[in-house]
A and B are shown apart, each in its own frame.
Chain A
Amino acid sequence: MIKLQEVTKTFHKQQVLHDITFQIKGGSIYGLLGSNGAGKTTLLKIIVGILKQEQGSVQIEGQQVFENIDVKKQMIFIPDSLYFFPHYTIEQMAKFYQNIYPSWNQERFVELREVFGLNIKKKVSQFSKGMRRQVAFWLALSAMPAILVLDEPFDGLDPVVRRKVKNLLIQDVADRKMTVIISSHNLREVEDICDYVGILHEGSILLEKDLDELKADIHKVQIAFRNHVPAALKNELSILHEEKRGSVRLWIVRGAETEVSKKIESYQPIVYDLLPLTLEEIFVYEMGGAGYNVENILV
């Protein structure tokens, strides 16, 4: 479990992060969302122990991260702008990782060669941007980290590779309870793999949600009644949003699915559909209520 408490960080007398408190459950995939400049990268660098917070604490399994080798051994950070030693081949980089990370799994490295299909004798600098990112994933996954921290990881990857990488991540999370933190400015990019989502805005955590709960909890309902909409039903349901399309109403309703259905059906609507919501829609409705315009926060 990763636990952040009242983490504060200042650059050049400007507070970049204030009072960040949240937890990430072991074996989950956490999406850290926010627009550019929200402080995502800084927060990630604090979590992996590159930067030191001025106040507050970052603990992984109860241990401080900063300058703590035992914790850092089990953690790999893939930054937004990748770095490989100049003139190193994939093989040489792998050797380096093998020497540095005790959990390195050479078999896995060989195995993943099939997946990525890159020439290990070639210098990393000669690969394209997307390929270099694949190399980074390859090396990281071969080191078998307990925690993988990814800063905007899917930039520059084509959809096929993106799928491939996501599958690998999900597989590791399922097989060996790896914890993954992914930062992104794009909700759609991560909604399919994240279990939890946190939104960072101007240095503070604005909102934190369990996606399964969230999805189970909010529903889009299309409904039409023979006459008028029964006022009693509207009182019974917690409706976040309402639109009219002729005689059909479109409601965004909060509540357990079965309960919502039961209540609605008891008023015998002539049309009734319960539709799934995209994550983005959920956020739009959730945060719209909180007074934020999601488009400004998530680009």
Chain B
Amino acid sequence: MWKTSSFKKEVTKQNFRSVGWIGIIYLIGLLFAMPLRIMMELSSDRPFQFFHENGLFQINFEIQQVMIIIIPVLLGVFLFRYLQVKETSDFVHSLPLKRTELYHNNVWNGVVILVTPIIINAALMAILYISFDLSYVYTWEDIWYWLGGTLSVTLLLFFAAIFVGMVTGLTAVHGVLTYIMLLFPAGITVLLYFAMNQFLYGFSENYYMDQNLEQLSPLVDTLNLYHASFPASRMYIYLAIGAVLYGLALKIYQHRNMEMAGQAIVYGVLRPIFKYGLTLCMMLVGGLYFHNHDTSWMLFGYMAGAVLGYAIAEMVLQKTWRVFDAWKGFIGYAAAAGLVFLLLQFDLTGFEQRVPAAANIERVFIEDGSHSYQSNHPYNESGYLNKSENIQAVTKLHKQVVSSGSDEYQTGRRNLFLAYEMKSGETMVREYMIPEQDYQAYLEPIYESLEYKALKYPVMNVDPQNIDLIRFYTDSARPDELVVGEPDEIETLMSRLKQDLQAETYEDMIPSLGDRGDISFMLESGMEIYIPMKRSYDQLNEWLKQKGLYEEAVLTDEDVSKAVIVHQNEPGGPIFNEFKSAAASNEHVWTVKDNKKIKLLLNSKEYQGQGGYFVGIYPKGGEPMIYRISEDLVARVVN
């Protein structure tokens, strides 16, 4: 690619004289952060209790992260500062050196300045490892992982800085623009998701936000180094992107007009991109700032953000704050943005109204959130519905949700997450907040279907022979938990439980106030799965009663010392605190000790009332269980 002879000794010397200090700082920083830290730990009596699980990034990660983010960009900025200052640029470019030559010379000087401290540090870590036999602290792989991770991120950031340096003509803009570029893909994506969530009813912000957004920004991605979740493949990808930027920067350099030193953006083509890009970003930030307020405030936020972004861009480009005459471009932008707003607001793309026809759907995922969607966990209590009657029921529900529209002020709302997989292979994802009580008729057929239950209760699919042990974790206060381990008992218990689950109605799925704890199934494979313990499992409870175990497994009125009902006028804050403060006052406090009434409470499902009533059920010798209850229930219990 280039001749070694074309490396000019004096140019290299000059580079090291002017930017060598960055490498020295990096080296000192790394030495203090890592080998010295290890030696400090070695000389103390404390045992090592960290980083052997997730590797060397665990050692003083904050210092490592700050350096990995700052050092390469700083170096890139200083190394190519000669481009941004007219005198230097003229001097350097009057010398008999090709731009290509200068570029390679500078870049490789920079690479040496960056890489040397990293390699020295890795070598020292290796020497420490051998000399003190630190195999219980870290491994050889950890050293390689650290080396690969640090090198790939450092070099990517360095080449990104160089790339930006070729496009800009001001050192300050160079630094800022580099970080903007490194954050831009992730930032703009997040901002767009926020905006879509504001404008599109049914847009699943959570789902899209979970799509490994950190991969879109190397800066955020450094966190994956800490968690050792930065795969080796990404190191290669980073290096590859670095190499592409290296080549692109050279091409841009070759065509750079040196008279543009001192201009924010050197290439005319990029000026509008910069200007309108910044306007768009600031507009979205403005909208985000007001996203919890009503629509007029939100629109104000968008407009103010856009004006601000446009003004800042103009100020940077014109290098003056008096940019009042540059409003023409803004009119165009505002018109385009307004058009997009209209598109979203009036759903001209049909996003909000779109409910796929059941016939086109292969399968559908329904849950109260996106967290378990696309999870590979074998017993994650969710999955796809394939049966056509269920698919139909889901689309019916979806149509109802769409036609009802959103009502943010309705109470008792919960999440509904839908993901359709179409026969054509496409996926369609929606998320809503729905007041569940209004949709009972639509949810019932889905929730009561065996297919749904098989997903919701993975234990239904387990062969009793594969179960080693069944535990009832019903009372954390009582360590003598109930355990069933005899194979024939397990068999009987399982067959009864399955009958209960199959017969479980929509109503029964909602736990009662007295329900608590889980039943755990210990599988042969070592896996443990749970289902909530409910007093509505008739067959199971019958069997428990026969065995004389019911009293232990289920909270009965016998186990409860009292129930305290309070009224709190101005609800707010954690439920526990609210209850405590209301119970401490003397007004509106009722203590219930009558067994019948306690039984009524325990069997009741009417919680989540909004009247400001709370009940605390005190198990004997335990902490109270606190619920909001409806006024109606209070009326039945008190008096």
Q: A-side interface residues toward B, CB under 8 Å?
A: 11, 42, 45, 48-52, 67, 69, 72-73, 75-77, 79, 81-83, 85-87, 95-96, 98-101
Return 20 A-B CB contacts under 8 Å, by A number: A45-B90, A45-B94, A49-B93, A50-B89, A50-B93, A50-B94, A52-B257, A69-B98, A72-B95, A72-B97, A75-B96, A77-B94, A79-B90, A82-B87, A83-B87, A87-B17, A95-B10, A96-B10, A96-B14, A100-B96
Q: What 1/0 mask marks residues of chain B from 1 to 33 whose CB sits below 8 Å from any chain A CB?
A: 000000011110110011000000000000000
Query: Which residues of B have CB within 8 Å of A42?
Result: 259
Our pick among B18, B90, B96, B99 for the contact of A73 (Cβ within 8 Å) is: B96
The docked-state distance in angstroms from the alpha carbon of A95 to that of B88 is 18
With A96-B10, A100-B8 in contact, do A81 and B87 touch (Cβ < 8 Å)?
A: yes
CB distance from A169 to the nearest CB of B (A): 18
User: Which residue on chain B has the smallest CB distance to residue A50?
Assistant: B93
Residues from chain A with Cβ under 8 Å of B97 in the complex: 69, 72, 100
Determine how close the nearest CB of chain A comes to the CB of B321; give it in whole angstroms: 20
- Nearest CB in chain A to that of B9: its residue: A99
Q: Is A100 within 8 A of B88, CB to CB?
A: no
Q: Is the CB of B8 within 8 A of A86?
A: no
- Residues on B lying within 8 angstroms of A by beta carbon are 8-11, 13-14, 17-18, 86-91, 93-99, 254, 257-259
Instruction: List the B side residues contacting A100 at CB < 8 Å.
Output: 8, 10-11, 95-97
Query: Given the complex, which residues of B lie within 8 Å of A51, measured CB to CB?
Result: 257-259
Give the docked Cα–Cα distance between A46 and B204 (Å). Answer: 58
A76 to B96, CA, bound (A): 9
- Determine the chain A residues whose CB is within 8 A of the CB of B95 once the complex forms: 72, 100
By the criterion CB–CB under 8 Å, are A85 and B8 in contact? no
In the bound assembly, the distance between CA atoms of A77 and B94 in angstroms comes to 7
In the assembled complex, the Cα of A161 lies from the Cα of B9 at a distance in Å of: 34
Which residues of the other chain, B, contact A45 by a CB distance below 8 angstroms? 90, 94, 258-259
* Minimum distance in angstroms from A124 CB to a CB of chain B: 12
Complex CA gap A77/B87 in Å reads 12
| Distance between Cα atoms of A69 and B3 in the complex (Å) | 15
- Asked if B94 and A48 sit within 8 Å, CB to CB, the answer is yes
- In the bound assembly, the distance between CA atoms of A75 and B257 in angstroms comes to 21
The residue in A81, A83, A98 that gathers the most chain B C-beta atoms within 10 A of its C-beta is: A83
A48 to B8, CA, bound (A): 20
A46–B99 Cα distance when bound, in Å, is 16
Q: How far is the CA of A148 from the CA of B522 in the complex (A)?
A: 89
With a cutoff of 8 Å between Cβ atoms, the chain A residues found around residue B89 in the complex are 50
* Contact among B10, B88, B99, B259 with A83 in the assembled complex (CB-CB below 8 Å): B88
Indicate if the CB atoms of A85 and B9 lie closer than 8 Å.
no
B78 to chain A, nearest CB (A): 12
A95 and B258 alpha carbons, distance in the complex (Å): 26
> Which partner residue on chain B sits nearest A41 by CB separation?
B90
Chain A residue at minimal CB-CB distance from B92:
A83
A52 contact set on B, CB distance < 8 A: 257
In the assembled complex, the CB of A87 is this many whole angstroms from the nearest CB of chain B, namely: 7
Once the chains are docked, how many angstroms separate the CA of A193 from the CA of B90? 26
Measured CA separation A73–B99 after assembly (Å): 14
A45–B87 alpha-carbon span in the complex (Å):
12
- Please measure, in the bound complex, the distance between the C-alpha atom of A26 and the C-alpha atom of B257, giving whole angstroms: 29
Report how far A82 CA is from B14 CA in the complex, Å: 17
Chain A residues near B258: list those with CB within 8 A: 45, 50-51
3 closest cross-chain pairs (CB), A and B: A99-B10, A72-B96, A83-B91
Q: Nearest chain A CB to B267's CB is how many angstroms away? A: 13
Inter-chain contact B94/A49, CB cutoff 8 Å: yes
With a cutoff of 8 Å between Cβ atoms, the chain B residues found around residue A95 in the complex are: 10
- B90 adjacent to A85 (CB under 8 Å): no
When chains A and B are docked, how far (Å) is the Cα of A82 from the Cα of B86? Answer: 11
Interface centre among B10, B14, B98 (most CB of A within 10 A): B10
B90 A83 Cβ-Cβ under 8 A:
yes
The chain B residue with its CB closest to the CB of A73 is B96
- Residue from B13, B88, B259 having most chain A Cβ neighbours under 10 A: B259
Q: Which chain B residue has the least Cβ–Cβ distance from A96?
A: B10
Complex Cα–Cα for A79 and B86 (A): 11
CB of A101 within 8 A of CB of B18, answer: no
Contacting residue for A79 out of B9, B10, B17, B87, CB 8 A: B87
Q: Hey, which chain A residues are within 8 Å of B18, CB to CB?
A: 85-86
Q: Which residues of A contact B9 (CB under 8 A)?
A: 99
Instruction: Provide the bound-state CA to CA distance between A50 and B90, in Å.
Output: 6
CB distance from B338 to the nearest CB of A (A): 30
> Given A49-B93, A85-B14, does the pair A67, B99 have CB atoms closer than 8 Å?
yes
Residues on the B chain within 8 Å of A50, using CB:
89-90, 93-94, 258
Tell me how far the C-beta of B549 lies from the nearest C-beta in chain A, rounded to whole angstroms.
85
Chain B, residue nearest A79 (CB): B90
Q: Which residues of A contact B96 (CB under 8 A)?
A: 69, 72-73, 75, 100-101
Q: Given contacts A50-B90, A83-B88, A85-B17, list 5 more A-B pairs with CB under 8 A.
A: A45-B258, A69-B96, A96-B14, A99-B10, A100-B11
Interchain CA distance A269-B67 in the complex, whole Å: 91
A11 to B86, CA, bound (A): 15
Query: In the complex, which residues of chain A have a beta carbon less than 8 angstroms from the beta carbon of B86?
Result: 81
How many whole Å from B299's CB to the nearest CB in chain A? Answer: 37
Give complex CA distance A143, B88 in Å.
20
Q: For residue B10, which residue of chain A has the nearest CB?
A: A99
A133 to chain B, nearest CB (A): 14
CA of A50 to CA of B98 in the docked complex: distance in angstroms?
Answer: 11
Q: Report the separation of the CA atoms of residues A268 and B306 in the bound assembly, to the nearest whole angstrom.
A: 87
Q: For A85, list chain B residues within 8 Å (CB).
A: 14, 17-18
Residues on B with C-beta less than 8 A from A76 are 94
From A54, which residue of chain B is reached at the shortest CB distance? B257
Q: Report the separation of the CA atoms of residues A95 and B93 in the bound assembly, to the nearest whole angstrom.
A: 18
A73 to B96 CA separation, bound complex (whole angstroms): 5
Asked whether, in the complex, the Cβ of A11 is within 8 Å of the Cβ of B259, the reply is: yes
- Nearest neighbor of A99 in chain B, beta-carbon distance: B10
Question: Considering the chains assembled together, what is the distance between the CA atoms of A4 and B431 in angstroms?
Answer: 69
> Which of B11, B89, B90 has the most A CB atoms < 10 Å from its CB?
B90
Cα of A87 to Cα of B13 in the assembled complex, Å: 13
Contacts of A96 in B (CB 8 A): 10, 13-14
Q: Which residue of B lies closest to A48 (CB)?
A: B94
